[in-house]
Structure 1
């Protein structure tokens, strides 16, 4: 049995990987622009990345619960929660979050039966 929530969670984890990879450049670029023009857009830009990270946490929690009920391995959603939360706590953890999210995406998309599964 394959769950659509796992597919969408994996897609969001991939999108977040790309976003987290460019986040430092975007935030520093915005901060530099604010410093030279007197603008105040850095906070809003950073907030976008944090909202995406916490959206990833929520979606991975939903995938975890649904995977557990469907007797699918929960390794991917757990790693997805950890990876998204790493960035959600602080953007300085963007690189570890990327690594964990890439691994999470692989496990989430595989959707293998749980080891203690009694499926025949």
Structure 2
């Protein structure tokens, strides 16, 4: 049975929006922490938090991608969510703004949850292949 909407996609879209906001405030928070405390490890702990959130976003988007594929829902939002979170993980020093922009677009697409374009083609292929038997002489013509 195919679902039109997945709760997982909704929660993934919400996390993408939260990650977008967190990525935008990450560098100001790290700099404020670095200049306001005498503890030299505080900025690293804060940065670790932002990286952990990004890895959670990657994991959740991969899970949403797999579930969307099973339920024939468009994969664009999940793929963009993975890309946005990976951008932050790989190059947070220069890509926190592009990562945030990609996550905004990902959240929009993942919240739409429209059916994939090739779902009707897949259903037709299943119906055609059901009548094929191993013995060609016994096939219906």
Same fold (TM over 0.5): yes
Please report how far the alpha carbon of residue 30 of structure 1 lies from its aligned counterpart in structure 2 after TM superposition.
1.1
Alignment RMSD: 1.1
State whether structure 2 residue 108 is matched by structure 1 residue 106.
Answer: yes
Gap change, CA 1:38 and 1:2, over 3 Å in 2: closer
For 1:73, the equivalent position in structure 2 comes to 74
Aligned residue runs from structure 1 range 21-100, under 5 A: 21-34=24-37, 37-92=38-93, 93-100=95-102
The 2-side partners of 1:61 and 1:38 are apart by 36
**TM-score, with structure 1 as normaliser:** 0.93
| TM-score (ref. length: structure 2) | 0.80
Per-residue displacement from partner, 1:32-55 (whole Å, max 9, x unpaired)?
124xx2442111000000000010
Query: In the alignment, is the contact (CA less than 8 A) between 1:87 and 1:97 conserved in 2?
Result: yes
Q: Structure 2 vs 1, CA of residues 4 and 38 (structure 1 numbering), >3 Å: closer, same or farther?
A: closer
1:19 aligns with 2:38: no
- Point out where structure 2 has 5 or more consecutive residues left out of the alignment: 124-141
DSSP 3-state at the match of 2:115:
coil
The CA distance in 2 between the partners of 1:38 and 1:70, in whole Å, is 49
Give the corresponding residue for 2:117: 115
- For 2:12 and 2:39, the matched residues in 1 are separated by 38
Which aligned segments of 4 or more residues in structure 1 are displaced greater than 3 angstroms?
A: none
